[in-house]
Amino acid sequence: MKPNHRRRVYYNFYETVYKPDHPSQYGGSDSPDWSRWVDSTRRAMVALFQRLGFDVNTSALVLELGCGTGYLKDLHPGWIGLEFSLSALRRMFPQAATQTNRLVNADMQMLPFKSGSVDLLFSWAAIEHVPKPELVMVEVERVLKPGGIAILAPSWNCRSWTVKRLKFRSYRELGWIEGVDKVTIPIRNNLIYRGLMALPFRIKREISAIFLGALEFDYRRLSPDFSTGTPHISDDDAYASMDPHAAIIYFKSRHWEILSHPTFTRRLLSRHEPVVVRKPT
C-alpha cells in the first residue's frame, strides 16, 4: 500500500469511528464499563498532577496528545488538547464553544508547537495508534521545556492476536499459522511467560544504554484493522506493540530523570503503568 493511500485509510478510519452513531463508540458511551474506565483514568491523572505539583501551577501549558473527545480536558486550566480526528474534536465543540482555541487538530508525529514551549505533556491510550511512535518520542523531547515533564500511558504491549481479532474468529476461517496463534493465546498471555520473554530484551537495553549512549525507541510493528463497517474491539487498530521499558530506556539513555521507575529493579519490572520522565535542565 502506497504511503499516501495508507494515510488516507488511517485518516478516514478515525474520521468515521469517532462519529457519534458509529457502533465502535470511540468517543465514549453511557456504559458502566466506559464510565469506570474514565473515572479510574481521571483519578490516576489527578494523583499524578498532585504528586508533581501541577495541580497548583495554574500558569503551566499542559498538552494532551490524542485527546479524543476530551474526557480529561478539565484536569488543568492550562490544558490544550491535540487530536488527529476532526470528528472527535467536533464532538467537543458544544461543550467547549468558548474555548476552542484549546483544541488542536494535528498529528502528534509533527507537533505544531515551538521547541521548549510546553511545561507538561501527557498522553493516555493514544501513542500505540500512530504509524511511527518513535517520531512521537522525538517530538516530546523537542517541545518540552528544560525541566518539563512527560506522562506517557499508551496501551503497552498490545497483543498481535488482538489486531487479528483471533479470539472472535472461528478456527475454520484461519490458516494453520493463525490457528496455532489462537490456540497458544492463553500461554502467551500468561504474566510469567510474558515476563520471561521480555527480560532478555530489557537487560540488553540496560547494557546497551551504558555502552552505546542514546538509544533509538524500539517496538514491534502491528498490522491494524482499519475496516470501518463493523464494530471494533480495544486496540485492534494499534500500529505498535511497545514495551514500557523501551520508553524508559529511550529517555534514560538521554539523561532524563525517570520519576516513575527510578531504580534498576523498578525498570526491569515495569508493567502496564504510566512512564513519567523529566527533561534535563
Residue 140 binned pLDDT confidence (cut-offs 50, 70, 90): very high
Predicted local confidence at residue 98, as pLDDT: 44
Picking from 44-58, 105-119, 136-150, which range would have the lowest pLDDT averaged per residue?
Answer: 44-58
Identify which of 258, 238, 241, 251 has the alpha carbon closest to the alpha carbon of residue 205: 251
CB atoms within 10 A of CB 71: 18
Bridge partners for 150 per DSSP: 121, 277
Residue 130 binned pLDDT confidence (cut-offs 50, 70, 90): very high
Calpha distance 93→191 (Å, rounded): 42
Predicted local confidence at residue 97, as pLDDT: 44
Predicted local confidence at residue 252, as pLDDT: 97
Per-residue DSSP letter, 102: G
Calpha distance 8→82 (Å, rounded): 19
Picking from 3-12, 48-57, 122-131, which range would have the lowest pLDDT averaged per residue?
Answer: 3-12
Structural domain harbouring 261:
3-278
Percent of all residues in the chain with a pLDDT value above 70, rounded to a whole number: 96
Calpha distance 30→16 (Å, rounded): 19
Calpha distance 27→253 (Å, rounded): 36
Residue 187 sits in a domain whose CATH number is: 3.40.50.150
For the residues 153-170, what does the mean pLDDT come to?
A: 89
For the residues 115-144, what does the mean pLDDT come to?
A: 97
Predicted local confidence at residue 76, as pLDDT: 92
Whether the CB-CB separation of 27 and 68 falls below 8 Å is answered with yes
Domains held by the chain: number: 1
Bridge partners for 26 per DSSP: none
Q: Which residue has the higher pLDDT, 47 or 227?
A: 47
Quick check: 231 pLDDT over 80? no
- Exposed/middle/buried for residue 52 (C-beta within 10 Å: 0-12, 13-18, 19+): middle
Quick check: 125 pLDDT over 80? yes
For the residues 62-79, what does the mean pLDDT come to?
A: 93
Percent of all residues in the chain with a pLDDT value above 90, rounded to a whole number: 65
For the residues 200-207, what does the mean pLDDT come to?
A: 97
Picking from 6-10, 213-217, 221-225, 243-247, which range would have the lowest pLDDT averaged per residue?
Answer: 6-10
Grid cell, residue 194, equals 510474558
CB atoms within 10 A of CB 145: 16
Predicted local confidence at residue 251, as pLDDT: 98
Q: What is the mean pLDDT of the chain?
A: 90
Quick check: 277 pLDDT over 70? yes
Predicted local confidence at residue 100, as pLDDT: 55
For the residues 185-214, what does the mean pLDDT come to?
A: 94
